Amino acid sequence: ILNVEQSPQSLHVQEGDSTNFTCSFPSSNFYALHWYRWETAKSPEALFVMTLNGDEKKKGRISATLNTKEGYSYLYIKGSQPEDSATYLCAFKTSGTYKYIFGTGTRLKVLA
């Protein structure tokens, strides 16, 4: 059974704070690691797709890193804003399949 774990499950931060979340995944048969943002009443939307060990991706104030050898990825948000409030999901993909295996997500609430 493939297990993808995310921590923390939820957190509240003040506007302007920086924060980070962790995604742990199996280190064998790695193919890709995805991060999604899921806002209430909307569809999950992809933030990053990461495929190589040591990958670092950035989009505005949000960035992510990947370590496939030890099986973890970090998502960082710098200077959190209320509009960053959402559930952040990571998804792991193994080679040879079309499956995306999701973690339970980290629910972020940014307080103004």
The three-state secondary structure class of 88 is strand
- Shorter beta-carbon distance to another protein: residue 75 or 80: 75
Q: Considering the rule CB under 8 A, would residue 108 count as an interface residue with another protein? A: no
Return the exposure string of 33-57: e unless at least 16 CB atoms fall within 10 Å of the residue's CB, then b.
Answer: bbbbbeeeeeebeebbebeeeebeb
How far apart, in whole angstroms, are the C-alpha atoms of residue 99 and residue 88? Answer: 19
98 is an interface residue for another protein by CB under 8 A: yes
- Pick 43 or 112: Cβ nearer another protein: 43
Does position 76 interact with another protein (CB under 8 A)? The reply is: no
Report the residue from 77, 86, 105, 110 that binds another protein according to the rule CB under 8 A: 105
Site membership for another protein, residue 14 (CB under 8 A): no
CA–CA dist 18, 14 (Å, integer): 9
* Residue nearer to another protein on the CB measure, 14 or 51: 51
* CB of 64 or CB of 80, closer to another protein: 64
58 pairs with which residues across the strands?
63
Quick one: which of 65, 53, 69 has its CA closest to 90? 65
Q: Please give the residue ranges that form the binding site for another protein (CB under 8 A).
A: 4, 31-32, 34, 36, 41-46, 49, 51, 89, 91, 93, 97-105
